[in-house]
Structure 1
Amino acid sequence: MPTFSTVAVAATAAFLCLSAAAQAGCTVPTNASAMQQELLSNLNAERQARGLPALALSAKLDKAAQGHACDNARRKSISHTSSDGGTLKTRLRKAGYAFRTAAENTGRGFASGTRAVQWWMNSPKHKDNILLRKAREVGVGIAVSPAPDNKLHWIIVVGASK
């Protein structure tokens, strides 16, 4: 069970990741930390309902997810391929995350983390990613596409480090 200090460190890491995204010209919702926590709560509820362990926030996975959310938002895309041709594996390497297993979900237009998880759970491939048995950590990226689109872009990256 996470301790207060573990949660505080994860929340601080998430805030720093979101702050860096904002400085890089990416629009991040002002309540992104609360949105991230809502999404994480829903992910873990789905996992725990099936006897799977809860996912802990990972600063490195957050970095990979947030960078890709910003990239997708700029392009108004839900692609798993970055604008520079990078893949999930490439993004994880750049974030310094050595992994045994990893998977990614992307989404666009969901008004809340709850809605994103509901949609993903109704899509077999996305559901498989959320319920990935070996996953122990998650990163969450949230960004807003430029006006007049102004859609929320959601990325989760689940994984298990080496």
Structure 2
Amino acid sequence: MRILTVLILSMFALVGCGGSDGGSGNSSTSHNGSSVSNGGSSERPTTEDSGQTTGGSSGSGSTGTGTGSNTGGSNTGSSDQTGTGSDTGSSDQSMADEMLAAVNAARAQGQDCGGTWMPAVAPLTWDATLEQTAFLHSSDMANYDYFSHTGLNGSSPSQRVTEQGYSWRTVGENIAAGQKTVSAVMQGWLESPGHCKNIMNGSFTQMGAASDTNSGSTYGIYWTQVFASPK
């Protein structure tokens, strides 16, 4: 069984379970691909959650305000992300070390995720394939100035992971935009109940993350975390 959990966070305009002035929304998805979403936007941080998806392999599931059923036998997404923005994001080893350390520090202590105590869980290991997957999506968002789990080419998080050659059992994604540092984006995620739970999810064993920048885009910097456990 595969489980897909998708969460998003933005510094300036977000939708989700955190709630805020100006609009909020929640999304949940069942194994049959149904989705319920209340849209909205805000000048202050909120979050969006989606439910979990089960299936035999990564197929043509839908993402964005919810994740559809991934029951296909092959991946149909593509990653022709060739924008013209600047590729100067924090995708180097220093960022990787800092992000992994921050995530594992949170997992080691346990976290109060919006009133739900998530106990300490095992540390994650860094995976270069998941890092590459994260960078491609951050770069796509930065270069083409959008903010979504759905790639410009229509790809879902699970499709992007599969396309990079990672055979997964569980996979999840966090995205964010506007935060300038690892500590800032981690603080935002940990203060959001849904994102906090994703970081503390004991079913994940590996992760990768990256950011990319484009001064001409809406938020300037775009972050992606990808969590997974291999088959």
TM-score (norm 1): 0.78
- Counterpart check, 1:101 vs 2:161: no
- Residue 144 (structure 2) aligns with: 75
Runs of 4+ that moved beyond 4 A: none
Q: Which amino acid aligns with 1:36?
A: A
Give unmatched runs, 5+ long, in structure 2: 1-80, 111-119
The aligned length equals 141
- Residue 53 (structure 1) aligns with: 122
Structure 1 residues 56 and 31 mapped into 2: Cα distance closer, same or farther (>3 Å)? closer
- Counterpart check, 1:154 vs 2:223: yes
- Residue 88 (structure 2) aligns with: 28
- Counterpart check, 1:121 vs 2:154: no
Structure 1 residues 25 and 94 mapped into 2: Cα distance closer, same or farther (>3 Å)? farther
Q: Which moved more, 1:69-78 or 1:133-142?
A: 69-78
Give unmatched runs, 5+ long, in structure 1: 1-20
Q: Distance in 1 between matches of 2:217 and 2:136?
A: 21
Structure 1 residues 78 and 126 mapped into 2: Cα distance closer, same or farther (>3 Å)? farther
Root-mean-square deviation (CA, aligned residues, Å) is 2.2
Q: Distance in 2 between matches of 1:30 and 1:63?
A: 12
Question: Higher RCO, 1 or 2 (CA under 8 Å, sep at least 6)?
Answer: 1
- Residue 136 (structure 1) aligns with: 205
TM-fit CA distance, 1:146: 3.8
Q: Distance in 2 between matches of 1:78 and 1:126?
A: 16
- Counterpart check, 1:91 vs 2:151: no
More helix by share: 1
SS at match of 2:137: helix
Contact map agreement 1:32 1:142 (CA 8 A) in 2: no
